[in-house]
Structure 1
Amino acid sequence: MPIIDMPMNELHQYNGSNPRPEDFDAYWERALAEMRAVDAQVELIPSSFKVPYAECYDLYFTGVGGARIHAKYVKPTHVQGPHPAIIQFHGYTGNTGSWTDKLSYASLGYSCITMDCRGQGGLSEDVGGVKGTTMNGHIIRGLDDHPDQLLFRQIYLDTAQLTGIVMEFAEVDATRVGVIGGSQGGGLTLACAALEPRVQRLAPYFPFLCDFKRVWDMDLTKDAYQELRTYFRNYDPQHVREEEIFKKLGYIDVQYLVDRIQGEVLMGVGLMDTVCPPSTQFAAYNKIRSQKNLEIYPDFGHEELPGFSDKTVQFMLQL
């Protein structure tokens, strides 16, 4: 089998290399308390996009720090009573995509919601307000400020807050909610289900935002992780603060959140992935304690994993 990372037996044993901050759990409990104190001010605006079997809305809510967050919400009209919901998260720098992307789940009688990550390619607001660099990258946003200012902290909280909001909708069965996404969306899927443990099923594929130090050690700080190299070149060219920097990044390292997940997990990984290396994904997968299953694609990288979306639909139909 072609290999760009560890042999398979080592991947199944790998436990990550990025340092975990000693106050990691307290950090996230404090973050969740901040999120729960926010007045979400939820707003639903009917869309001009119409289909016969669903209603489409632009959904806005206020997240931590006062940012207004946007999502697209598609609600089926051909089912009676509370029904399941699927929440989708997009790839790095992307957005919610088209309305038609959500219609397959709506046709099955599921509500479908997709969130714009703050400050990326959609309509969500980035309120800024951190010291130091804000150039070109959300991993390093807030790295020169207090750990509570790390932008991905706020984005992870947005995912959990949105999920809690959806669970309160009268038409949604809060016990039958699933989350899905690939790359950044895969990392956010894991973070969301960790911070909102009522999520029953989650299907991440090649998750981003796991084991930053491993990416660095593999010399793969390019593509989605390019900003890590840029940060060192501009702000710590001799790596005097390397240990400190990776430890701070540990607060937003998804591998250390996943042991909170209670829902069932279906995860897809390509063993030729040089964007989110397999070992970084296994660092997270190996720490999941809930029921889980891994779909492995030996010859595939950071690309469509044939059949995985079909497996995901079948998996979510069991909600």
Structure 2
Amino acid sequence: MSVETMTLQEMKFYTGTNPRPEDYEAYWELALVEVASSKTTMEIVPSNLQFSGVQCSELIFSGTDGARIHAKYLRPVTKGKVPVVFLFHGYSGNSGDWCEKLAWIQQGFAVVAMDCRGQAGMSEDKGGVKGTTYSGHIVRGLLDCPNKLLFRQIFLDTAMLVKTVAELTEIDSYRMSVCGGSQGGALALVCAALSPAIKRAVVQYPFLSDYKRIWDLDCRGSAYEELNYFFRSFDPRHEKEEEFFSRLGYIDIQFLMPRVQADILWGIGLRDEACPASSQFAAYNRLCAHKKMVIYPDFGHEVLPGFMDEGMLFLSGVKDS
């Protein structure tokens, strides 16, 4: 059973419910000034785990606020520059096992998989701790000024990662792609929006889109349950509901989509209860770049059979969207 109330035809013309802050463009232009003015600093440390024909390293770089962000960096042992794919993980997770990236190496890619700050990886949370806070990241900073929203900083981490990796002599900075699902899908799209050097993106059922629509559909379990906790704790009568959703608009990915220049391949399950299809269409319909949506009518927030095979060929340039 799906939580969705729109037909597919209706979703194809849907452009979102969540309010867009009036100063949204200025907000992100100033954020990008932070990226442009921040020096790239990185440390590359060989991993204790190595595979034949692959160099595995820990790449540690600085966010715009000085936080130390970790990523797994794998590249083929070969001469010359290689293309790179940036991988982003799901909410509350981490960059995953090294061996999961080897198929990309076989296709000739270097791989950079970032640990989101404050989640299950090793990236530094400037709130004062390393490691996971599990959830609450959507609403963190919501009662403060918009610049304190945690996902603003995570979004900027993706841009700083691209800026940093593009300076590596072994990387072909003209062939950079992104890939991810759920939170990872959202961050892949955000990365493409904030980093015009990204040429292609493969995303599955992206998170962080159209929060008010999520609320109206009563999707208050799983990843979005913190919206419910927030209102119960800080606005039990919903007297400031419009203000809060407008502030969440700063980190609503749908409004960044017109900035994306990369070609997009997008996988969606119409029975997705974690990231309902209409919330995804709100972002997809705002894309101006070349795009293709692959629809799985009977699938939800789960493995979409064959999609990543198509996605790998797409990022390899073997198959166009």
The 1:267/1:244 distance shift into structure 2, 3 A limit, reads same
Aligned amino acid, residue 53 of structure 1: G
The structural deviation recorded for 1:2 is 7.2
Q: Does 1:63 align with 2:59?
A: no
Q: Note if 1:244 corresponds to 2:243.
A: yes
Give the whole-Å Cα distance in 2 for the aligned partners of 1:150 and 1:62: 18
Shift, 1:302, TM fit: 0.3
Q: List structure 1 segments (4+ residues) > 4 angstroms apart after TM superposition.
A: none
Residue 199 (structure 2) aligns with: 200
Which aligned pairs between 1:144-293 and structure 2 lie closer than 5 A? 144-293=143-292
Q: CA deviation at 1:136?
A: 4.1
Equivalent residues of 2:4, 2:278 under 8 A apart: no
Please say if 1:300 is aligned against 2:302: no
Residue 51 (structure 1) shift: 1.3
CA RMSD of aligned residues (A): 1.5
Alignment of 1:6-17 (within 5 A): 6-17=6-17
Alignment correspondent of 2:44:
44
8 Å contact 2:91–2:184 — kept in the other structure?
yes
Aligned residue type for 1:17: T
Instruction: State the alpha-carbon separation in 1 of the partners of residues 5 and 107 from structure 2.
Output: 39
Letter of the 1:250 counterpart: G
Contact kept, 8 Å, 1:14 with 1:279, in 2: the verdict is: yes
TM-score, normalised on structure 1? Answer: 0.96
CA distance in 1, matches of 2:196, 2:216: 32
* 8 Å contact kept, 1:84–1:172: yes
| Alignment match, 2:142 | 143
Query: What is the TM-score of this pair, normalised by structure 2?
Result: 0.95
Tell me the SS of whatever aligns to 1:87: strand
Q: Distance in 2 between matches of 1:40 and 1:176?
A: 20
For the residues of structure 2 that align with 1:6 and 1:105, how far apart are their CA atoms?
37
Once the two structures are TM-superposed, the CA of residue 41 in structure 1 deviates from its matched residue by 1.9
Residue 42 of structure 2 contacts residue 62 of structure 2 at CA under 8 Å; is this kept in 1? yes
Equivalent position of 1:316 in the other structure: 315
Shift of 1:25: 0.7
Quote the residue 1:82 is aligned against: 81
Q: Percent identity?
A: 51
Q: Which amino acid aligns with 1:28?
A: W
Q: Which position in structure 2 is the counterpart of 1:125?
A: 124
With over 3 angstroms needed to count, the CA separation of the structure-2 counterparts of 1:135 and 1:266, relative to structure 1, is: closer
